[in-house]
Every structure is written in structure tokens, then in C-alpha cells.
Structure 1
Amino acid sequence: MSWEAYFIFIVTTGVICLTPGPAALLIVAQGISNGMRRSYWAIAGIALANALYFALSATGIAALIVASSNLFSVIKWAGVAYLFYLGISTMLSKGSAFSVSSEPNVAIQGWAAFWNAVIVELSNPKALLYFVALLPQFINPDKPIGQQMLIYGSTCIALDAMTYSFYAWLGSKTKKFTANARFVKTSNRASGGLLMLAGILMAGVKRVAH
């Protein structure tokens, strides 16, 4: 593994992490409702999901999933259905992890936010495709594979933590507006709509292997 390849990996992965998506939207909502510190439950959930995808990629299992039309379709359409469910729940302010609320007993936090984040990230086929299609490009077969995977994996988790902490911070800065009922209602409708849009876009994701 060269320093040049490692630098390119950091830049590429950092840009992907910063690109808005369901995970980023979840963290922003958590930051608005629960503040930055309590948002780390959801951030940890996203990091765990990506660590699982990374482990699957390292063992080659993820490549088999992507190569299998049936398995990939199951993951994709389950993710689409889940995003639509979350989108409708958020628009109706039914207390999903994406819902903005000023009431502590309504806003999802703690372990509930953690597992919501895990499911959201695991149901995202784009995350699976990233680890299968992009990660292998940085692996040098002439160097110890295990060591490279450990370094890249640790870096990926660190980048997750930093970028989603930034999103949590952004969300926490608007927490004061949750006292405004119109802001809460508008935010939930916008978040719900974006989740369903993400579901529509996810439906168009195609596997990289045929």
C-alpha cells in the first residue's frame, strides 16, 4: 500500500461520506432533536453497519451477494420499502429516528436510534456496492492483504465518525427551532419526502456484476 493510494482512498471515501443520503439525514434529525452528544448512538450504528460491510468485503462474501441477482434484489427492495416506511412515518411525525421533535419522550434516542441507524445503513445497496466495487481498487496484491484491510477499515470508520459528527453538529445548531411547531412540521415533511426520494433513487441502483 502506497501513501499515494492511501491519500486517494481518504479523499474518495471522505467525499462519499459527506454526500447527503439517508444516513446523513438521520444524523441531522438526531442532532436537531437530541443534540450532538446523543447523536453518537446513531453514528455508532452507521459505523457498525459499515464495519460489517467491510468485513464481508474482506472475506469476499459481499462480492457473491452483488453477483447474485436474487440476493442483491432482496437487499435493494427491502431497503426501498424501509425508506418509504420511514418517509411516511416521518411525514406523519410518528416518532421515527428521522422525526424532529422537541419532546424527549417522542424523539428516538439511545439504543433505538442505534439500531435504526444500523438497519438504514445495511439496507442501503450503495454502501454494499462501495465496498465491493471501489475498495478492491486500493488493495496491492503484492503486499500483506490483511494489514491493508485493517488500515483501510479503521480509516473508513474514523471518516464515518468525523463526517457524521459534522452532520450532528449542523443539526444541533438548529435545535432551538424545535420549539416552533411550524418548523417541526415542515422539517418532518421535508425529511419524509427526501427519504422517499432516496427510496426511488435506490430502486434504480444496479449491481456491478452480471
Structure 2
Amino acid sequence: MPTSAEWVVFLGTAALFALSPGPGVLYVLARSLRGGRTEGVRSVFGNALGASVHVVAAALGLSALLAASTVAFTVVKIAGAAYLVYLGVQAIVRRGDDGEVDSDGGAKRWARSPLAQGMIAELLNPKTALYFMALLPHFVHPETAPAPLVFALLGFIAVAMAALVDLAVAVFAGGLSGRLVNNPRWRVRQRVAAGLSMIGLGGFVAVAE
């Protein structure tokens, strides 16, 4: 387990990570502006679930394989960027579907839910995996506690801190959306702005080193 001084450093670093405007928080912002607080909060939980998978992978050593393979890293990064662009295009071209009944059943509704999309987008963000691999080993001391358990504990704390920041963004942006939801012109601009934001985010993820 980390020492008292290391806990301070870890929590400070995790707080900076949570507060930095990365792909996760920008995705939550776009979804909250488009669909209000409910959609924003669901996207937060989706992000957290995807990040939690990265935590488990890091604890098991799987993220090290991704970090060691340039090809695997690039494939995952491009897949994540393409998925964000796809979501952005879908947001722009889809019209008036808020009350639409899906004829394809629960599977289609799940695939289109902000929770599922947030989880997939975060799973396809290899930088999250590399963040945990770069940060957490400095605070793991196998001689005092099993490394995988410490890895998981620290990782879930970092995920929880990021989720709190994302929730604040969802509540604020969702409140703005709720005030203007009855304005038809705003709904169109809202949808287009959210779509362009996700497309831009996909482009950023694709070219970022």
C-alpha cells in the first residue's frame, strides 16, 4: 500500500487527471447538451464502466501488452476515434427521434444508449490504459500488499474522482439543455453542436500522440 506521503501525491495526481478536459469529460458535455441531465448522467456511468475495465486490465497486466505493441495501440486508438466520429454523424443526421419506438427491440436501444456508448468510447481509448500503467505502479509495493489488489483499489479511486467531475459537468450542461429544450431551433443547433463536438473529439483522439 502507498505510504502517507504517497497517498497525498496519488490523490493530487488523480485530481489533476479528473479535472483535465480529456475525451471522457468532453463526451459527457456533448451528450448532456444534446439530451439533458439524464443522458449526461448515463454517459458518466458509461465512461466509469469503461474506465473500470481498464483498471482491471491494468491490475492483471493486460494493459502492459497494449502499451508494448505499437500496432495494437494504433488499432485501438483509430477504432475509438472512428466510433466517436460515427456517434457525431449519427447525432447530426438523426431527427426527432426522442420519442421514437425502436422496432428492433432492446438490443438496439441498448446500443444507442448513452451508457453503452460511453462505455464503448472509453474502452476504445488506449490512453486511459496507459495512464493507469504509468501512474499506479509508483504507488504499489508488493512487499506490503498484493500488487493486483492495490492496483485495483487505486484505479477505482481515480475512476470515482473522474466520475464526480463528469457528474458536475453533466448536471451543469444538462441544466442548460433543459431550459432550452422546448425551443425547436435550439434543439437543431444542440444536436448539430453535439455531433460536431464528438466528430472533433474523434479527430483529436486519432491524431494525438
| TM-score above 0.5 | yes
Q: Classify 1:33/1:201 alpha carbon distance in 2 versus 1 (closer, same or farther; 3 Å).
A: closer
1:188 aligns with 2:191: yes
Using the TM superposition, give the Cα deviation of residue 67 of structure 1 relative to its aligned residue in structure 2, in angstroms.
0.8
- How many residue pairs are counted as aligned between the two chains? 196
1:167 aligns with 2:177: no
Separation (CA, whole Å) in 2 of partners of 1:55 and 1:187:
36
Q: Which segment is superposed worse, 191-200 or 28-37?
A: 28-37
1:55-204 pair list within 5 angstroms = 55-92=56-93, 94=94, 104-105=98-99, 111=110, 112-144=113-145, 145-174=147-176, 175-204=178-207
Separation (CA, whole Å) in 2 of partners of 1:30 and 1:200:
17
Using the TM superposition, give the Cα deviation of residue 38 of structure 1 relative to its aligned residue in structure 2, in angstroms.
5.5
Using the TM superposition, give the Cα deviation of residue 31 of structure 1 relative to its aligned residue in structure 2, in angstroms.
3.5
| Secondary structure at the counterpart of residue 27 of structure 2 | helix
Q: Classify 1:51/1:167 alpha carbon distance in 2 versus 1 (closer, same or farther; 3 Å).
A: same
Counterpart of 1:190, as a letter, is: A
Report the structure, 1 or 2, having the larger helix content: 2
Separation (CA, whole Å) in 2 of partners of 1:18 and 1:75:
24
Unaligned runs of 5+ in 2: 101-108
Separation (CA, whole Å) in 1 of partners of 2:12 and 2:49:
21
Separation (CA, whole Å) in 2 of partners of 1:9 and 1:42:
26
Separation (CA, whole Å) in 1 of partners of 2:159 and 2:128:
13
Counterpart of 2:207, as a letter, is: G
Q: Which segment is superposed worse, 115-124 or 172-181?
A: 172-181
Counterpart of 2:15, as a letter, is: G
Counterpart of 1:91, as a letter, is: I
Deviations 1:150-174, CA, capped at 9 Å, x for gaps: 4313312321331121111112221
Separation (CA, whole Å) in 2 of partners of 1:39 and 1:189:
17
Counterpart of 1:194, as a letter, is: S
Q: Classify 1:7/1:33 alpha carbon distance in 2 versus 1 (closer, same or farther; 3 Å).
A: same
Give the equivalent residue in structure 1 for 2:25. 24
| Secondary structure at the counterpart of residue 173 of structure 1 | helix
Deviations 1:127-186, CA, capped at 9 Å, x for gaps: 122112222233234431244224313312321331121111112221111222332233
Using the TM superposition, give the Cα deviation of residue 117 of structure 1 relative to its aligned residue in structure 2, in angstroms.
0.9
Counterpart of 1:49, as a letter, is: G
Using the TM superposition, give the Cα deviation of residue 115 of structure 1 relative to its aligned residue in structure 2, in angstroms.
0.8
Identity %: 28
Unaligned runs of 5+ in 1: 96-100
Q: Classify 1:4/1:185 alpha carbon distance in 2 versus 1 (closer, same or farther; 3 Å).
A: farther
Separation (CA, whole Å) in 2 of partners of 1:70 and 1:27:
29
Q: Is the Cα contact below 8 Å between 1:126 and 1:205 reproduced in 2?
A: no
RMSD: 2.5
